[in-house]
Chain A
Amino acid sequence: MGIYEEIASNKRRSYLLIFFFMVFVIFVGFVVGFFYGSTYFGVGLALVIGIIYFLISYYGGANAILAMTKAKEAKKPEYTYLINTVEGLAIAAGLAKPPKVYVINDDALNAFATGRDPEHSSITVTTGLLDKLNRLELEGVIAHEMSHIKNFDIRVMMLAAVMVGITVLLSDFLLRSFLWGRRGRDKEGGQLTFVFIIVGIALAILAPLVGEAIKLAISRKREYLADASGALLTRYPKGLADALKKIKSDPDPLVDHANKATAHLFISTPFRKSKRSFLKKLYSTHPPIDDRIKRLEGM
């Protein structure tokens, strides 16, 4: 798949994500409205809230993510070398404008890119990464992030981060309102209500799971692709392979301010390592690092 198909597919994925999110929001509004007397009011209110939430997350999501991870903007002269590397690779990728550069004060070796499009994007690295990687390895990591930006991966991943989060919250709310609503309406509870309850509960449980799974599936394939197109930018796959090796052997992969909503953004999973069971593999945010190293070394 070429880069232009990749970009088109990512834009499509973003629309799908927004569409599913809206369907879910409307459904929640309908069900809540149904139990409180007016479905029209419920749907209307949900639509307004949903659209506002979407706009806020589309235009402010990146800043929210940066704030959540406690990233600070990198400035010259302290980070001249990092900023130059990012600007250089932005040129190599043919971006009109280099992404902003942020730093997280953390010993862990990690990095991520976010933003809604290449013109409004940023790359964040931990200070640990800057200290422990050499020039070639850092170039490899930055090139990987630059590919996420160029491919519009960042848009899908950002929307996933902010929308999946709210879906979980809403399902929780939905589940609660069922338990409430039933208490007050026991006498009139016809068959229709019963069906709604079943469907609603099923959806309330399933939606976050499905959302989570989609998010992860998106992210894992992305990592291989970004590795490959990053190698094309530096023309030196070994740089990223060596960086991944260092990241893998680092005893402290934990980024203090990473959480479930932001985990899939990072270049390597920001949580503590544990034995991989089949289910864990299915739900993990990143492909096995050994596999990525092997693929890079085979290039």
Chain B
Amino acid sequence: MVATWIIIAVVAVVALFIAYIYNSLIKLRMRVKNAWAQIDVQLKRRYDLIPNLVSAVKGYMKHEKGVLEEVTKARTSLMSGSTQEKAKASNQITEALKSIFAVAENYPNLKANENFMQLQEELSGTESKIAYARQFYNDSVMAFNEAIQVFPKNFFAKIFGFHQKEFFGAEGVERKNVKVEF
């Protein structure tokens, strides 16, 4: 009789322990998911802003069609693909935008344009939001990946089918992208 109770108690404790580990992993995975959603929101925002920028700039930059085509091309490759592909396309856009704003320096009329100035402010704000979202996402991924690798969580992670998540872009370079002074 006593033995039965002991067995029941042990089973209960083990079940609670497993539930605790499962919940903690789920929580971390949710955070990664939410962080990814944040990146997506900002990428989408920039995606929507780019056509406005292109049409605002087109009239002024007659001789620099190439720069505009580049940003439009990178834009279309942004909304589909894996984490890595998205990260790559995102970086391309960042670079292309940088050259657009660098070229804009040569057009005083454009630079003084109210509409252009607002777009520039919005885009540079979105640019740094992407960088921050990526920072938070990569931190969350790191926490998650670490959690499913340490004992004894790695054991349960395998059973429950938790897999390592991919980082967004190269680690450690995100801060450089924020430092873009348009």
Contacts and interface: CB of A to CB of B under 8 A. Distances in A.
B181 A88 contact: no
Contacts of A83: 125
Give the most central of B31, B38, B121, B128: most A CB within 10 Å.
Answer: B128
A236 B132 contact: no
A251 interface: no
A91 B136 CA distance: 7
B165 interface: no
A94 B181 contact: no
Given A91-B136, A236-B175, A84 B128 contact: yes
A135 interface: yes
A185 B98 CA distance: 83
B146 interface: no
Nearest to B125: A84
Give the most central of A84, A85, A89: most B CB within 10 Å.
Answer: A84
**Dominant SS at the B interface?**
helix
A92 B136 CA distance: 5
A3 to B, nearest CB: 12
Nearest to B131: A88
A94 B35 contact: yes
Interface string A211-238: 0000000000000000000000101100
Interface string B105-132: 0000000000000100110111011011
B135 interface: yes
11 contacts: A77-B118, A77-B121, A80-B121, A81-B125, A83-B125, A84-B124, A84-B129, A85-B128, A88-B125, A92-B132, A93-B136
Contact of B129 (A77, A91, A96, A135): A91
A87 interface: yes
A92 B135 contact: yes
Contacts of B31: 94
Interface string B32-50: 0011001000100000000
Interface string A81-122: 101110111011110100000000000000000000000000
A91 B125 contact: no
Interface string A114-154: 00000000000000000000010000000000000000000
Contacts of B175: 235-236
Contacts of B118: 77, 80
Contact of A91 (B121, B122, B124, B132): B132
Contacts of B121: 77, 80-81, 84
Contact of A235 (B122, B126, B135, B140): B135
B181 A91 contact: no
The 9 A-B pairs of least Cβ separation, nearest first, read: A84-B125, A92-B132, A88-B129, A91-B132, A88-B132, A91-B133, A88-B128, A80-B121, A235-B175
Contacts of B34: 94, 96
Given A235-B175, A236-B175, A94 B125 contact: no
Interface string A151-180: 000000000000000000000000000000
A83 B132 CA distance: 15
B136 A87 contact: no
Contacts of A84: 121-122, 124-126, 128-129
Nearest to A80: B121
Given A84-B121, A84-B122, A84-B128, 14 more contacts: A77-B121, A80-B122, A81-B121, A84-B125, A88-B128, A88-B129, A88-B132, A91-B42, A91-B129, A91-B132, A91-B133, A92-B132, A94-B140, A235-B135
Interface in B81-102: none
Interface string B47-65: 0000000000000000000
A80 B124 CA distance: 11
Contacts of A80: 118, 121-122, 125
Contacts of B136: 91-94
Contacts of A93: 136
A89 B122 CA distance: 15
